[in-house]
Structure 1
Amino acid sequence: MKYTDLLALLALAALCAGCPEDDPTPPLADADIDATGEDAGVDAADTDTEADAEDPVELRIRPDTIRLAEGNDLSIRVYDGFDKLELAEVELTTSDAAIAEVDAEGLVHAVSAGTFEVIARYEGAEARVDGEVVAPRWVDVDVSTRHTCALDATGQLFCAGGFQADGEFEMSPRRTEGKLVALDHEEAFTDIALAFRTVCALDTSGRPWCRGRRLRTADDDGPTVYSNSFALVGTPSEVAFTQLVAGEGHFCALSDAGAVWCWGANFYNQLGDSRLSELPSPVALPGTMASVTAGGWHTCALATTGRTFCWGANRGAQLGRGHQYGPKSPGLIAFDYRFDKLAAGRMHTCGLQGTDVYCWGYNGSYQVGTDRGTIWWEPTHAGTTNVTSVFAAHQSTCALRADGQAICWGQNDQGQLGDDEFLDRQTARPIEGAAFSHLAMSATHSCGLTLDGELRCWGFDAAGSLAVGRQTIFEEPQRVDARGGSVDAGSLHTCRVVDETVECWGSNLQAQFGNGRYNSSSRPTAMTSGWRDVAAGSSTSCGVKDDELFCWGVEYDRELGMDDDFNVVIAPTRNNFTQVPDRLEMTYSSVMVQSGDETYWWGAGHTINDVQAVVEGASASEHQYFGLDAPTVGGEHGCGLRRGSDGVVHCWGEQTLRGDPQQDSSYSHVAYPVDSQARFDALAAGRNHTCGLTTDDKLMCWGRVIPGAGLVETPTEVSSAVTLETLYGGGTYFGCGLDAAGKAYCWGKNFSGALGDGTSQDRAEPTPVAGDLTFRELTLGGNHACGVTTDDEVYCWGDNGYGQLGIGGRLFYAEPQPVVTAP
């Protein structure tokens, strides 16, 4: 039954609710009765026609856009309204079969680069979706605990992690600095596999090549040797391999004749050879196999009959033999299961039967897919279905659906399952934000090739193995997002406006994102569109939309500006500010808005009704009203340049931060002049301080920002070897500025790397931020900072305990890091 038909029946049922049981005819509506009160007499033919009428077909194809790399496949679905159709009833074609094809089961196959349409026809209706086939950037990827290697479409191998700059494959701290680097090799490669400190690859002739840790024979007791160039593995010249896999210390390959050959570590007979020693040359195993997979210290192969053979270590019952003893040569699992594909983890094994996943072996982190039992002796259903492939590593398992959706379960202490938590999963959970054609997994991180040929990685970035340029934990697939826009840093969260859309990241425990939720995020999370400005405070945020001011979050100091009560607002809400905001600034719990020539300020315990249209100023003998130029707001104070005064600074708020210890009032809404003869061009207030640039290019600060000086009550010159052009405030105990070339400098307390100079050392004078970046603007939060570069990229550094750097992890960084986001 169609969804629309169901709605019609429900409506009829509601109409008949008042009918007598012996008369099922619904009561006549007013329109069915003529002016005399008699039945208007609906024509029977008309009734029959209406009953026989069919609802129009509303044909839809999902997904509504398709982008594939050459050679990849994607399953589509076709709907009539909300009803999914059987594809056997639908005619499916593409506009250009030379670019993409679609079969009767809805599988779209990308043939060559170009654009196309998928066309569906059903009962006279037609639907179309646009598609694009692109040349793939990457065709294969594999990972080990501290390495990632990827193969591009030309056969060139790139690796990241424990490689020296010269390409040497080893576990040294001197690595590739988190970047994929090309390894030297003359042959074009088609398949790659990574084991402990070793990478191997197949060339176009099916020959295996390896580099890294040199294997030793049984009588070789010399030191471990590493090779920084590829060497051909000794196999008979007539043998050509089509598949290559790796365990933690061994490799296996499948020949075009179906023979399995293995070499490397053999301490648990994982090579299928009785000699318990490393074997540097491949040994052939008996039987004809269709595929092979290597676990930590065991190996399994799938025969052409679908039967599974396993050998090697068996302490977790991963061989499926009903006991914990391992055979020295390939042996059948003890249970009569027929599988289409296999995947081996460190101490568990999984098989794909049709579209269902079955696993067996050690289940300490739920990698078998059930919460019952530590060891599963025989294959058990993993609770997943409708999948097309399965992958396993260490104590985690993943599978792919026909649409490229990745689902994972098992160990997640390093974020290797690709979700936003660090909890082990006993049931499969999807990886959001990308569709994949292939996955590669290790004990600490995972990578995948997307359907459009991109490379994504997530998990722990040990030794820079994620190839994203920095070492931390990424719970979700990462790529650099080079979108700039305006950005503002709060105490524990950061927001920006890009293409009129507000995006926030970091802490959302007080609903600072304004998305109706309380889930924190270490990557940008989009809100609604139509915004032109945004500011981030401590537990709140505010933004300007349609020339009106909206605020959201949990207020503790009346910073939402709504009324005299304390509010909890989880979505953007219009507050009591009635003017058109021209400039918006927030620091901790203070809010400052400029509208025309007037400055408004509230928060820090004071309601919006306390603040007048212009800030009051006073001399020693009298009070007067005046406007302020270059106003700036701190945690509980604000400052500005008195208009027409040639650079005289006036401040209001907390007495110790107003720059004049002679003022008696502990807190004042009156803006008093600071105790200084200096004249200023620019000001920037932090939570506990203010800094300014004088008309003769000096940097002066007061409050608590100069390390070792305690409370500085009056403007005091800060020694500086650089001339700053622009100042930025908002930091708790630090300040930053830009010189004329856009180079960033910071000074003050260096909590969690807030100064961005690559150290944890406090700085009493401006110190350059690490790197060669040039910025057009900066923003400072509690103990972190962000900047928009002259290339419109956003970089952040400093404290990251809540993900406020927007780089995907929660470790602090003392150098600028590019903000990332899942697509």
Structure 2
Amino acid sequence: MSSQHRMKNVMPVDIHVPPAFMSASHNHHLLLSLKDKAIAVWLDWLVTVHRPRRIAAVQERRIRRARANAVISAGYRHSLALRADGSIVCWGDNSFDQAPPAVMEGDFVAVAAGNDHSLALRGDGSVACWGDNHNGRAPPAGVEGDFVAVAAGYFHSLAVRADGSVACWGDNRFGQAPPAGVEGDFIAVAAGYYHSLALGADGSVACWGENDDGQAPPAGVEGDFVAVAAGSFHSLALRADGSVACLGRNDDGQAPPAGVEGDFVAVAAGDKHSLAVRADGSVACWGENDYGQAPPAGVEGDFVAVAAGYYHSLAVRADGSVACWGANGIDFQAPTDASRLGELNGTRFMTEVRIL
């Protein structure tokens, strides 16, 4: 057979891409494809499963910490704090018996201070009332019911029932405390001078009462909120992402319309000042500071709850001790001296609500 004939029967081979290399390249591309698919599945899991779970966990912690505010409260010129054993300590103005100096023994789980009256929620769901009872805001016999949260305004009182509806009593001149109450699926309430707020289980905020400064829009406020606070003529609402929405009067910067950005876990509103606890335990302050109730630099500490009175502020630390700043006057509603604070902190205060 001639060499020419033999060459015609030889299969052509691509000398540039050996067959073995072609197989390796194919496998490499296949592996890359599988890796890309695995990464895509992992990213999809992060987006659709892990991230929502993480956000939900963060929000749940924020809600739990926000509700810890119920362990301390500041009224016009008096203060209340719940001890770890369920008893209540009161200090400040006691002109109307709103802050009796003797420890109030009982199985209490939340406190609320109004203008000259005080409320406390018992473990059995009933509400104890003391102080000025003008307009029926603080009936001495208390209020029976299956309540899970309370709030005290200037002249009125609110309480959330276990079924989500809100009971109201006291002054109703501006519709802030309708005797028939307010139906809804609510989990928290806040009471201002003449207005009321209620946080819905869906994260929205319902409002009623005076709205001259836009502090309580009748249509309410839609959003993903986890806590509410009512000052004299302004309102605050804490979002699930940690930012604060502000409504109402802003003459002293207590309610900036753009809100306040931050990683906050609790809010409180006084007469013309506002407070918010950050996730790191420090307290941010804005608004009027004529009496040192809202220092612009804030207050450093490991705080878990905060309260704002008319001209004073309170906060509970993670170790159960209390801090005070602002107007202290003749009523000693915000003592800063070591001896009085030592007296107040002789027994650990509660740091987390046992209900809701």
Match of 1:692 in 2: 237
Amino acid at match of 1:728: A
Q: Which of 99, 105, 108 is 1:529 aligned to? A: 105
Amino acid at match of 1:530: G
- Rounded to whole Å, the distance in 2 between the matches of 1:608 and 1:718 is 24
Match of 2:75 in 1: 490
Shift, 1:487, TM fit: 2.4
Paired residues for 1:15-414 under 5 Å? none
Paired residues for 1:507-518 under 5 Å? 507-514=93-100
Q: Does 1:752 align with 2:291?
A: yes
**Does the 8 A contact of 1:798 with 1:805 survive in 2?**
yes
**Does the 8 A contact of 1:779 with 1:785 survive in 2?**
yes
Shift, 1:775, TM fit: 0.2
Shift, 1:696, TM fit: 5.0
- Rounded to whole Å, the distance in 2 between the matches of 1:717 and 1:678 is 15
Match of 2:35 in 1: none
Match of 2:211 in 1: 655
- Rounded to whole Å, the distance in 2 between the matches of 1:806 and 1:497 is 17
Shift, 1:739, TM fit: 1.2
Residue 749 and residue 655 in structure 1: after superposition, are their counterparts in 2 closer, same or farther (change >3 A)? same
**Residue deviations 1:632-658, cap 9 Å, x none?**
2222111234444xx333210112255
Amino acid at match of 2:74: A
Q: Which of 680, 685, 695 is 2:225 aligned to? A: 680
Q: Which of 132, 138, 155 is 1:554 aligned to? A: 132
Q: Does 1:734 align with 2:256?
A: no
**Does the 8 A contact of 1:486 with 1:496 survive in 2?**
yes
- Rounded to whole Å, the distance in 2 between the matches of 1:633 and 1:685 is 5
**Does the 8 A contact of 1:493 with 1:506 survive in 2?**
yes
**Does the 8 A contact of 1:634 with 1:686 survive in 2?**
yes
Q: Which of 709, 713, 718 is 2:259 aligned to? A: 718
- Rounded to whole Å, the distance in 2 between the matches of 1:626 and 1:543 is 22
Paired residues for 1:552-591 under 5 Å? 552-560=130-138, 562=139, 573-575=140-142, 577-591=143-157
**Does the 8 A contact of 2:149 with 2:187 survive in 1?**
no
Q: Does 1:544 align with 2:121?
A: yes
- Rounded to whole Å, the distance in 1 between the matches of 2:160 and 2:128 is 15
- Rounded to whole Å, the distance in 2 between the matches of 1:608 and 1:736 is 23
Structure having the higher Rg? 1
Shift, 1:795, TM fit: 0.6
Q: Which of 593, 611, 619 is 2:179 aligned to? A: 611
Query: Secondary structure of 2:271's partner?
Result: coil
- Rounded to whole Å, the distance in 2 between the matches of 1:690 and 1:600 is 20
- Rounded to whole Å, the distance in 2 between the matches of 1:584 and 1:539 is 16
Residue 503 and residue 679 in structure 1: after superposition, are their counterparts in 2 closer, same or farther (change >3 A)? closer
- Rounded to whole Å, the distance in 2 between the matches of 1:678 and 1:527 is 40
Percent identical pairs in the alignment equals 25
Residue 601 and residue 660 in structure 1: after superposition, are their counterparts in 2 closer, same or farther (change >3 A)? closer
Residue 660 and residue 791 in structure 1: after superposition, are their counterparts in 2 closer, same or farther (change >3 A)? closer
**Does the 8 A contact of 1:689 with 1:702 survive in 2?**
yes
Match of 1:249 in 2: none
- Rounded to whole Å, the distance in 2 between the matches of 1:694 and 1:609 is 25
Match of 1:506 in 2: 92
Taking only aligned residues, the RMSD between alpha carbons, in angstroms, comes to: 3.2
Shift, 1:539, TM fit: 1.1
- Rounded to whole Å, the distance in 2 between the matches of 1:527 and 1:775 is 23
Amino acid at match of 2:272: Y
Shift, 1:580, TM fit: 2.5
Shift, 1:704, TM fit: 1.9
**Does the 8 A contact of 1:807 with 1:820 survive in 2?**
no
- Rounded to whole Å, the distance in 2 between the matches of 1:678 and 1:610 is 25
**Does the 8 A contact of 1:648 with 1:673 survive in 2?**
no
The unaligned stretches of length 5 or more in structure 1 are: 1-484, 515-524, 563-572, 616-624, 662-671, 758-766, 810-816
**Does the 8 A contact of 2:215 with 2:233 survive in 1?**
no
Query: Secondary structure of 2:212's partner?
Result: helix
Amino acid at match of 1:595: R
Match of 1:701 in 2: 246
- Rounded to whole Å, the distance in 2 between the matches of 1:683 and 1:486 is 15
Match of 1:369 in 2: none
**Does the 8 A contact of 1:502 with 1:531 survive in 2?**
no
**Does the 8 A contact of 2:176 with 2:208 survive in 1?**
no
**Does the 8 A contact of 2:302 with 2:317 survive in 1?**
yes
Residue 679 and residue 791 in structure 1: after superposition, are their counterparts in 2 closer, same or farther (change >3 A)? closer
Q: Does 1:796 align with 2:341?
A: no
**Does the 8 A contact of 1:808 with 1:821 survive in 2?**
no
What TM-score does the superposition give when structure 1 sets the normalisation length? 0.30
Amino acid at match of 2:228: L
Match of 2:57 in 1: none
**Does the 8 A contact of 1:530 with 1:546 survive in 2?**
no
- Rounded to whole Å, the distance in 2 between the matches of 1:526 and 1:582 is 26
Q: Which of 622, 625, 634 is 2:192 aligned to? A: 634
**Does the 8 A contact of 2:119 with 2:130 survive in 1?**
yes
**Does the 8 A contact of 2:195 with 2:215 survive in 1?**
no
**Residue deviations 1:468-492, cap 9 Å, x none?**
xxxxxxxxxxxxxxxxx93221110
**Does the 8 A contact of 1:598 with 1:628 survive in 2?**
yes
- Rounded to whole Å, the distance in 2 between the matches of 1:775 and 1:594 is 26
**Residue deviations 1:160-187, cap 9 Å, x none?**
xxxxxxxxxxxxxxxxxxxxxxxxxxxx
Question: Larger helix proportion, structure 1 or 2?
Answer: 2
Shift, 1:818, TM fit: 7.5
- Rounded to whole Å, the distance in 2 between the matches of 1:777 and 1:657 is 27
**Does the 8 A contact of 1:593 with 1:599 survive in 2?**
yes
- Rounded to whole Å, the distance in 2 between the matches of 1:680 and 1:486 is 20
**Residue deviations 1:111-154, cap 9 Å, x none?**
xxxxxxxxxxxxxxxxxxxxxxxxxxxxxxxxxxxxxxxxxxxx
Match of 1:820 in 2: 342
**Does the 8 A contact of 2:216 with 2:248 survive in 1?**
no
- Rounded to whole Å, the distance in 1 between the matches of 2:131 and 2:222 is 41
Match of 1:384 in 2: none
- Rounded to whole Å, the distance in 2 between the matches of 1:605 and 1:658 is 18
**Does the 8 A contact of 2:227 with 2:239 survive in 1?**
yes
Query: Secondary structure of 2:103's partner?
Result: strand
Q: Does 1:743 align with 2:310?
A: no
Shift, 1:768, TM fit: 4.1
**Does the 8 A contact of 1:593 with 1:601 survive in 2?**
yes
**Does the 8 A contact of 2:268 with 2:308 survive in 1?**
yes
What TM-score does the superposition give when structure 2 sets the normalisation length? 0.66
